[in-house]
Structure 1
Amino acid sequence: MSSLRTGLLVRRYEPRDEAAVLALVNADRIAGQPETTAAMLAEALAGRSPVDSGWWAELGSPVTDVLHDASGSILGVLSCAVRPADDVGFVLWLHGRENSAVVSALIAHALAALGRRTVSAFEFATALSLGLEGLPSNHRPATHKALTAAGFTGRDLWRYMHAGLPLTDLPPAGLHAVPHLVSDCEDPPGKHLEIRDGGAPAAEATIGRPVDGIGVLWWISVAPTARRRGLGRALLGISLGLLHDLGAREVILFVDDDAPANHPERSRAAANRMYDRAGLVEVDRLFSFTHRP
């Protein structure tokens, strides 16, 4: 156990902390996310995630600490790890009910524990959420502000979008409106959809198996030679229809909205217009952060 300048205390997570930590995590839950369960917490503590599993496999064992006051009441939780290949440290997840003093103390503790090395925060998805690859900065402004105050540089990476299902005004409504192939995929867990043109993939999409009635549209891609034919919109309708048939009442989507300078063909402008017109609503912006010694 160690004491911080704030008078708060830090110690390692123990099994008896499960209920208090779950309450902290779920207090930060954002629209379109299922409630974090004990099983999800156990996976995160063990350093596993169904999404971004390859990144997690590169990390050393996570260290999870809780922040508490003199009475023993748990006020915050923090999980960190180091990637041995390049000695980069990671703030994997932290929660403190958006109390500025608590989250600032957690971040200070993380930097002290990880030492003089490059530290990334909110870099990839954890088992605590349904694919949140970054910090929802508008929903968690105190954490964003505390990271910036501690010397982290933020990167605005993703739009986080949400809608209820079905979206009735998005054609085609039926699963068989456009010939397509559906197959299982494991990372992320779900389904892969494909529209082919002359034997070659013309448009592809990946959806996640619904969790508590929430499905994920992971991505849609249309080959450059097949664009401007409505295939993206058709595949969007097919994907959302399949999610609804699988039991999803809501859908979430993560999408970037800038084009790499040297690759204008990768622009997401048209895709973002399609999602906006379909009725998906931007809920937040997802940020990742880097602190250099």
Structure 2
Amino acid sequence: MTTAHGGELLTARPYRSGDEAAVLELINHDRVPGQPRCTKGMLTEALAGRAAVDAGWWTRQPSTDVLVDETGRPAGVVSYVITRYDDTGLLLWLHGRERPHVVRALVDRAFDRFGRRSRLAAFTVRSPLVLGLEGLPVRHRAATHHALIRSGFTGQDLWRYMRRGLTDISPAAYPVATITPSPDIPGWRLRIRDHNGTTAAEAAVGAPIDGIAVLWWIAVHPADSSDTLGRTLLDQALAHLAAQGAREVILFVDDNAPGGDRDRAVANRLYDTAGFVEVDRLYSYMRTF
């Protein structure tokens, strides 16, 4: 496929091993705050379709295509796959330096490859290219957001993405949580128990990658307890991560969910008062015909 966009002639073709350096440049150009630089190993995992959680949704390796300019240099890259359960065309990730005509061409390329499927999705899977991001950061990736909306997708606001530096964190003066290796992620589980030995609060944190750690979740039991216990646990988690060499920590709050057990107002207040700042909102996208 050869198209002219914005006065620039772009040709689509499958990704080749010789594209690696240029594609890494494209990915890292679009990197948002709180994210490590994408490495060759991370790109290899993404090209193979080895998503951390959702790779079971497909059986074949994703297709990855590049758009090259008239000199043959990649100007954009897009990866997509067909899911095994419901035949959904799934756009996994794309990068084009947020140049509107390039990202529009990348979306169009994936559309062409999806054919006449009745259900399409985009940015619903956590990619190996990033740390924890499950969705598109819409403020930092506005051109991609607008290209998807222009193509008939509906965006869903799912997560509040936050970060906090750890250079001002001191060791916990009175550590009250036990810290053990996590059974399911590279990282640790922190628990505070009451006088009966019952878990009163717990949290899961990831080991730092390039100096960046993830607070995956924090829970206080019962959920309507005061903020004090949650703040005590959070402070010790931050102190532990700083001691492990983390320079900053990121987290994700599902604060667009309905009330009840998933009401995240308490979590937002906890993180705001602990010095976390919002980086972006994470969206996923769907289109049905």
| TM-score (structure 1 length as normaliser) | 0.91
Partner of 1:117: 118
Distance in 2, Cα, partners of 1:236 & 1:189: 19
- Within a 5 Å distance, the mapping from 1:1-293 to structure 2 comes to 2-4=1-3, 6=5, 7-49=9-51, 53-60=52-59, 61-115=61-115, 116-168=117-169, 174-175=171-172, 177-185=174-182, 187-197=184-194, 198-224=196-222, 227-228=225-226, 230-260=228-258, 263-293=259-289
Q: Distance in 2 between matches of 1:186 and 1:25?
A: 31
Give the direction of change, closer, same or farther, for the CA distance of 1:104–1:223 in structure 2 (3 Å limit): same
My pick for the range that moved more, 55-64 or 266-275, is: 55-64
Between 1:283-292 and 1:196-205, the stretch displaced more is: 196-205
Deviation at residue 177 of structure 1 after TM alignment: 2.5
User: What is the CA distance between 1:182 and its match in structure 2?
Assistant: 2.1
Whole-angstrom distance in 1 between the partners of 2:284 and 2:160: 12
Unaligned runs of 5+ residues in structure 2 are none
Look up the SS of the partner of 1:276 in the other structure.
helix
Structure 2 residue identity aligned to 1:211: I
Distance of 1:54 and 1:225 partners within structure 2? 27
Q: Deviations over 1:17-41 (max 9, x none)?
A: 0000000000001111111111110
Check whether the contact 1:76–1:106 (CA below 8 A) recurs between aligned residues: yes
CA contact (8 A) 1:167 1:278 kept: no
**C-alpha separation in 2, matches of 1:22 and 1:78:** 13
Amino acid at match of 2:112: A
> How far does residue 229 in structure 1 lie from its aligned partner after superposition?
5.8
Between the aligned partners of 2:273 and 2:79, the Cα distance in structure 1 is: 39
Secondary structure of 2:27's match?
helix
Task: Please say if residues 103 and 143 of structure 1, whose CA atoms lie closer than 8 Å, have aligned partners that are also in contact.
Answer: yes
**Structure 1 unaligned residues grouped into runs of 5+:** none
Aligned residues: 283
Q: CA deviation at 1:201?
A: 2.1
Secondary structure of the structure 1 residue equivalent to 2:208? strand
Q: State whether residues 48 and 127 of structure 1, in contact with CA within 8 Å, keep that contact through their aligned partners in structure 2.
A: yes
Structure 1 contact 167–279 (Cα < 8 Å) conserved: no
Counterpart CA distance in 2 for 1:279 and 1:81 is 39
CA positional deviation for 1:181: 2.5
Q: What is the TM-score with the length of structure 2 in the denominator? A: 0.92
Closer/same/farther in 2, CA of residues 279 and 225 from structure 1, 3 Å limit? closer
CA RMSD of aligned residues (A): 1.8
Q: Give yes or no for contact 2:159–2:256 (8 Å, CA) kept in 1.
A: no
SS of equivalent to 1:230: helix
User: Following the alignment from structure 1 to structure 2, what is the Cα–Cα distance between the partners of residues 176 and 201?
Assistant: 21
